[in-house]
A and B are shown apart, each in its own frame.
Chain A
Amino acid sequence: GAVVSQHPSRVICKSGTSVKIECRSLDFQATTMFWYRQFPKKSLMLMATSNEGSKATYEQGVEKDKFLINHASLTLSTLTVTSAHPEDSSFYICSARPLVTGGLEEQFFGPGTRLTVL
């Protein structure tokens, strides 16, 4: 099956620092990767959609200068939370859509990154 990895799985940082989260599709190429955040007991909230080689599309209310997304290749996307603050503490999940889906527009999810900003 299709596997998506995320690194790191957990990170604790001080307020004001930047944190980079990597999302990799391990055994398939992904034209599109999605970044979500999820607060406790809440559903997934799409932050942005990134396509390889082009700028990410951010959802309304998501600051593009704060959440920097780079989709450098068909297997790697990174999310950098710049100048993190305690309110940025959340569970960040990426997903990837394969280059060839065979008709099923399925997304495969990474295991998530728990960010805690002190």
Chain B
Amino acid sequence: GQNIDQPTEMTATEGAIVQINCTYQTSGFNGLFWYQQHAGEAPTFLSYNVLDGLEEKGRFSSFLSRSKGYSYLLLKELQMKDSASYLCAVMDSNYQLIWGAGTKLIIKP
């Protein structure tokens, strides 16, 4: 079966760095997405990785290792507004998104 695993909840301090991990097992792979979702709102796109390596976009970076079925989202210089759920999603061979359950990130002052 297809499976996406990510931690349920993480806590970090304002100004610090946090890494959210995601492991996956899917039928085929056409890229991995990270989305941010604030409570009561729809997800917003953060990053897309299809090749191994690190993609950096401002305070956010995303890493992919296809051989290990592993990705992480790195958030630097955390701000209170970064408190949200972070969803990992993999696009399978049918170009369908398989979603993880999301990681709730709590930022403390």
- A positions within 8 Å CB-CB of B: 34, 41-46, 49, 91, 93, 104-112, 114
Contact = CB atoms under 8 A, between A and B. Distances in A.
Nearest to A112: B42
A111 B42 contact: yes
Contacts of B104: 41
Interface of B: 30-31, 33, 40-45, 48, 87, 91, 95-97, 99-102, 104
Given A104-B48, A105-B31, A44 B40 contact: no
Given A104-B48, A105-B30, A106-B48, A43 B42 contact: no
A109 B97 contact: no
Where chain B touches its partner, the secondary structure class is loop
- Most chain A CB within a 10 A radius of its CB, from B41, B44, B95, B97: B97
Given A43-B100, A107-B97, A93 B42 contact: yes
A49 B95 CA distance: 11
Given A91-B40, A114-B40, A43 B96 contact: no
Contacts of B30: 105
Q: Return the 8 tightest CB-CB contacts between A and B, nearest first.
A: A109-B42, A43-B101, A112-B42, A43-B99, A44-B99, A93-B42, A43-B102, A111-B42
Contacts of B43: 44, 93, 109
Contacts of A106: 33, 45, 48
Contacts of A114: 40
A105 B100 contact: no
Contacts of B45: 106, 108
B41 A111 contact: yes
15 contacts: A42-B101, A43-B87, A43-B101, A45-B99, A49-B96, A91-B40, A93-B42, A93-B43, A104-B48, A105-B91, A106-B45, A109-B42, A109-B43, A109-B44, A112-B42
